[in-house]
Amino acid sequence: RGLELMESRAVVGTALDVELAAVINERHALRRCGDCRLEWGNMRDEQWWDFLTKAEEGGHMKVFVNNFNDVMGHRSTETRDGPTLDDRICAIFAAMQPGARMLTLNRMLALGPSRDQANAVREQRGLEPSADASFFSERKVTLTPQPWPWAPEGEDVVSWGGSAIEAYVYERLGGQSLPGGAAAFLCSARGCQMGNHSATAVLDDESHELVTECVYCGEER
């Protein structure tokens, strides 16, 4: 699936998809492994929420985010203090079911701490580790130009440079206590008896925005 903001790019992408499908079918029709759906729209529009968050039955979403050099950070806000595109993408990721994976070219700080990071803080404060501590794992990888069957002399990782680049892989984790596998986090503030043990939902169901404060004490994640 793909959602393109610019109309001209959406038109070109759709045309390329049609031509690519024709070439694949001409070479070996049985080698198609799925469908590609490209749409023209704005990811901030609620009409695309299900398109971006819900996998086909039995499947898991796999997301690539080209936010290199913070291009979807503060430069992408619609108002001076409004949410960035990275914030919206973090909310979309939080809405996905456990098993979803996301690769980004810039770290997604709005997600908060990973489960390992949150549990490390809990242990430092004498609290038991918990699956509710956070809803995702995070790891940094290095993408290196290398040979492929279709490019035996090597192929660049990105079109704008030939060097290795760092990327971040996030996986939506399950095993949390909220109904329907909803993403959750626990408060790590000292003295927040309720928030240390009772989960806060990561996503506001009405606004589809990230919840960044404990619902019990108001402490930031």
- pLDDT tens per residue across span 11-26: 888 888 777 777 777 7
Question: Bigger pLDDT: 209 or 25?
Answer: 209
Whether the pLDDT of residue 33 is over 70: the answer is no
Q: In this predicted structure, what is the pLDDT of residue 25? A: 75
Question: Bigger pLDDT: 83 or 33?
Answer: 83
Mean pLDDT across the chain: 87
pLDDT band for position 31 (50/70/90)?
low
* Nearest-angstrom CA–CA distance, 92 and 110: 12
Q: In this predicted structure, what is the pLDDT of residue 129? A: 96
Check: CB of residue 194 under 8 Å from CB of residue 216.
yes
Whether the pLDDT of residue 150 is over 70: the answer is no
**pLDDT tens digits for 153-190?**
766 777 666 788 899 999 999 999 999 989 999 999 98
Q: In this predicted structure, what is the pLDDT of residue 34? A: 62
Q: Where are the extended beta strands (E) located within 5-99?
A: 38-40, 62-65
pLDDT band for position 102 (50/70/90)?
very high
What value does the mean pLDDT take over residues 51-75?
84
Question: Bigger pLDDT: 56 or 196?
Answer: 196
Question: Bigger pLDDT: 102 or 13?
Answer: 102
Tell me the two tokens of residue 144: 């290196």
- State the alpha helices, DSSP H only, in 96-146: 115-124
* Nearest-angstrom CA–CA distance, 13 and 175: 38
